């Protein structure tokens, strides 16, 4: 099925308009097209100027170059994350702001191990029951963004990641300002100074509150773990019957509730591994920040994509009735190719280097240049996709970039891969699901409201 998003509705010659624009307006045009009509704009870039050097930053549009540059993390770095992710002279901050060094290698691998992929069926089940609870309580009408798309991942953060004991509203606020500052308050976002500073100040406030909360959480959970160990030592006789009872009841021989925070705190490492209390805390906080706005935006945009396309909607709703989730999930991922949460990931060049060597668009990228790697454009490149403008579910997953690519590929990818489709699925199962208005992005880059209705009780 051909999707209208890819059509050049205005018959625009983007590059001609770009070339004619004065220097101080050039990037404003690029920014508008990436937001409002990315696919035809990217198609022209891929064909005619696969590397576009603008006064603000350099855009890279072809699949092979996006992949190539993302595989050189020391040259195309995440330095722009450093000030947003707590890196300073005496604090290494978060792993995401590190390129191919000991800290990134060590902490990402440890966290991948904790986020055991064996958990995924249970994670999907948890997401399903959280969605069903919300849907049942809402009686056929909800603001999908706040009551569902943000709420469900926030509950997953509490129940599976173990950041519990606080309010969902706090989790949402901390996550939002962190994400806003890191991903939408960069030089090429061209935010007016007042907004730029407001975002930084809200982020700082949120980080201070989050830091205090994480410290309390770690102390509380560590005490619970220690008390449980003591109890087991002194009431040895009861220990094994209790373990057996828990095994029969839950299929797991555990007495302290398993969640990611508990799992991380219960695991002890030699000092040489350098994963002590403080590093554990930073990484537990990272779980919250990565989860909520990303999932919320992906789910809201996927819902809207289908609700605006009746034929695809019908197909998706039929797939939602199947026990096997494969066909349903494949349609969701194909939709996210058209409406990803961001059209690019960004990097900063650490040295001057020449890219796309030997092609007609070979380009020297100087040290310090900010580079937008157009992952959405890469997902429409005929180099990797048959009939890229068509909606064809079940494409080659390895050419899908909604979770990034390379060294910084998303840590939460596999959780996202079950959470996002399951959230879409539970709403799609509601009879006569419809939107009362389009997604509202009035005050920034994130969806704010999306009013949905369905026929409850039928
Ligand atoms: C489910 C919980 C999630 C967690 C805990 C999480 C966490 C993370 C972390 C820690 C990274 C950095 C990895 C690194 O630097 O090596 C990352 C990268 C990324 N995540 Fe996630 N994430 C989650 C969900 C999502 C979702 C739902 C999306 C989009 C649909 C997403 C998109 C991305 C992208 C595009 C990157 C790459 C950024 C870059 O290359 O600069 N994430 N995520």
The owner of tokens 């349609």 is: 331
298 in contact with ligand 1, CB cutoff 6 A: yes
pLDDT band at 206 (very low <50, low <70, confident <90, very high): very high
The stretch 115-129 carries a mean pLDDT of 97
- Quick one: what percent of the chain has pLDDT higher than 90? 89
Q: How far apart are CA 184 and CA 28, in angstroms?
A: 15
Quick one: tokens of 313?
């909607």
Q: 180: CA distance to ligand 1 center in Å?
A: 14
Range in 43-47, 197-201, 247-251, 393-397 with the lowest mean pLDDT: 247-251
Q: 48: CA distance to ligand 1 center in Å?
A: 31
Using CB atoms within 10 Å of the CB of residue 392, give its burial: 0 to 12 exposed, 13 to 18 middle, 19+ buried: middle
Other residues' Cβ atoms within 10 Å of the Cβ of residue 439: 20
221 in contact with ligand 1, CB cutoff 6 A: no
pLDDT band at 3 (very low <50, low <70, confident <90, very high): confident
The stretch 119-144 carries a mean pLDDT of 97
406 in contact with ligand 1, CB cutoff 6 A: no
The per-residue pLDDT for range 149-188, each reduced to its tens digit, is 999 999 999 999 999 999 999 999 999 999 999 999 999 9
Task: State the pLDDT at residue 458.
Answer: 58
Q: 402: CA distance to ligand 1 center in Å?
A: 9
The per-residue pLDDT for range 29-88, each reduced to its tens digit, is 999 999 999 999 999 999 999 999 999 999 999 999 999 999 999 999 999 999 999 999
375 in contact with ligand 1, CB cutoff 6 A: no
Homologous superfamily of domain range 1-88+298-458: Cytochrome P450 (1.10.630.10)
338 in Cβ contact with 3 (< 8 Å): yes
DSSP code for 257: P
Q: Which atom belonging to ligand 1 lies closest to the Cα atom of 115?
A: 5
- Helix, strand, coil shares of the chain, percent, nearest 5, are 60, 10, 35
The stretch 226-242 carries a mean pLDDT of 74
Mean pLDDT of the chain: 95
Quick one: tokens of 102?
């000991």
Q: Which atom belonging to ligand 1 lies closest to the Cα atom of 295?
A: 27
Residue closest by Cα to atom 14 of ligand 1:
408
Task: State the pLDDT at residue 80.
Answer: 98
* Chain centroid offset of residue 94 CA: 16
287 in contact with ligand 1, CB cutoff 6 A: yes
Task: State the pLDDT at residue 104.
Answer: 98
Task: State the pLDDT at residue 244.
Answer: 77
Residue closest by Cα to atom 4 of ligand 1:
412
pLDDT band at 230 (very low <50, low <70, confident <90, very high): confident
Task: State the pLDDT at residue 236.
Answer: 67
Task: State the pLDDT at residue 381.
Answer: 98
Quick one: tokens of 341?
């949460």
Residue closest by Cα to atom 11 of ligand 1:
410
Task: State the pLDDT at residue 229.
Answer: 79
Q: How far apart are CA 53 and CA 364, in angstroms?
A: 10
What's the residue count for the chain? 458
The owner of tokens 């704010």 is: 448
Q: Which of 294, 340, 446 for mutating ligand 1's site (highest number of atoms within 8 Å of CB)?
A: 294
Range in 9-13, 222-226, 341-345 with the lowest mean pLDDT: 9-13
The stretch 288-296 carries a mean pLDDT of 98
DSSP code for 86: T
The per-residue pLDDT for range 240-283, each reduced to its tens digit, is 777 777 777 767 656 567 899 999 999 999 999 999 999 999 99
291 in contact with ligand 1, CB cutoff 6 A: yes
Q: Which of 77, 43, 40, 37 is nearest to 61 (CA)?
A: 43
Using the predicted structure, report yes or no on whether residue 1 has a pLDDT greater than 80. Answer: no
Read off the pTM: 0.95
Helix axes 277-307, 151-159, angle to 10 degrees: 150
Q: How far apart are CA 80 and CA 348, in angstroms?
A: 7
Q: 404: CA distance to ligand 1 center in Å?
A: 7
Long-range CB contacts (< 8 A, 24+ apart) of 349-352? Answer: 349/75, 349/76, 349/77, 350/74, 350/75, 350/76, 350/77, 350/79, 351/75
Q: 102: CA distance to ligand 1 center in Å?
A: 20
Task: State the pLDDT at residue 256.
Answer: 62
């Amino acid at each position: 099925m051909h999707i209208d998003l890819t059509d050049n509705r205005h018959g625009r010659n983007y590059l001609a308009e770009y070339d004619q624009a004065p220097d101080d307006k050039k990037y404003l045009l690029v920014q508008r097209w990436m937001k409002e009509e990315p696919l035809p704009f990217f198609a022209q870039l891929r064909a005619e100027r696969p590397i576009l050097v603008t006064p603000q930053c350099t855009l890279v549009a072809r699949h092979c170059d996006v992949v190539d540059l993302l595989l050189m993390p020391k040259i195309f770095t995440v330095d722009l994350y450093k000030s947003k992710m707590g890196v300073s002279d005496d604090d290494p901050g978060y792993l995401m702001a590190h390129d191919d060094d000991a800290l990134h290698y060590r902490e990402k691998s440890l966290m991948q191990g904790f986020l055991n992929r064996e958990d995924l069926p249970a994670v999907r089940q948890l997401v399903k029951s959280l969605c069903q609870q919300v849907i049942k309580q809402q009686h056929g009408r909800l603001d999908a963004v706040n009551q569902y798309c943000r709420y469900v991942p926030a509950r997953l953060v509490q129940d599976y990641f173990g950041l519990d004991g606080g309010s969902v509203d706090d989790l949402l606020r901390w996550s939002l300002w962190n994400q806003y500052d890191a991903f939408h308050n960069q030089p090429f976002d061209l935010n007016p100074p007042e907004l730029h500073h407001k975002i930084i100040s809200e982020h700082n406030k949120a980080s201070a509150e989050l830091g205090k909360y994480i410290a309390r959480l770690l102390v509380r959970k560590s005490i619970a773990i220690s008390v449980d160990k003591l109890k087991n030592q002194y009431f040895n006789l009861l220990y094994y019957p209790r373990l057996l009872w828990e095994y029969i009841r839950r299929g797991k021989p555990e007495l302290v509730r398993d969640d990611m925070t508990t799992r991380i705190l219960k695991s002890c490492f030699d000092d040489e591994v350098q994963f002590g209390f403080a590093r554990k805390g930073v990484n537990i906080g990272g779980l919250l920040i990565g989860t909520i706005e990303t999932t919320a935006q992906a789910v809201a945009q996927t819902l809207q994509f289908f609700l605006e396309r009746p034929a695809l909607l019908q197909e998706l709703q039929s797939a939602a009735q199947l026990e096997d989730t494969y066909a349903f999930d494949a349609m969701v991922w194909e939709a996210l190719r058209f409406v990803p949460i961001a059209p690019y990931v960004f990097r900063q060049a650490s040295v001057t280097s020449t890219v796309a060597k030997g092609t007609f668009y070979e380009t020297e990228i100087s040290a310090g240049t900010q580079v937008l790697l157009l992952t959405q454009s890469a997902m429409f490149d005929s180099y990797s996709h048959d009939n890229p403008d068509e909606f064809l579910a079940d494409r080659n997953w390895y050419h899908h970039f909604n979770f990034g690519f390379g060294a910084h590929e998303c840590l939460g990818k596999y959780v996202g891969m079950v959470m996002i489709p399951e959230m879409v699925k539970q709403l799609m199962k509601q009879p006569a699901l419809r939107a009362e208005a389009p997604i509202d992005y009035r005050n920034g880059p994130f969806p704010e409201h999306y009013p949905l209705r369905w026929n409850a009780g039928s």
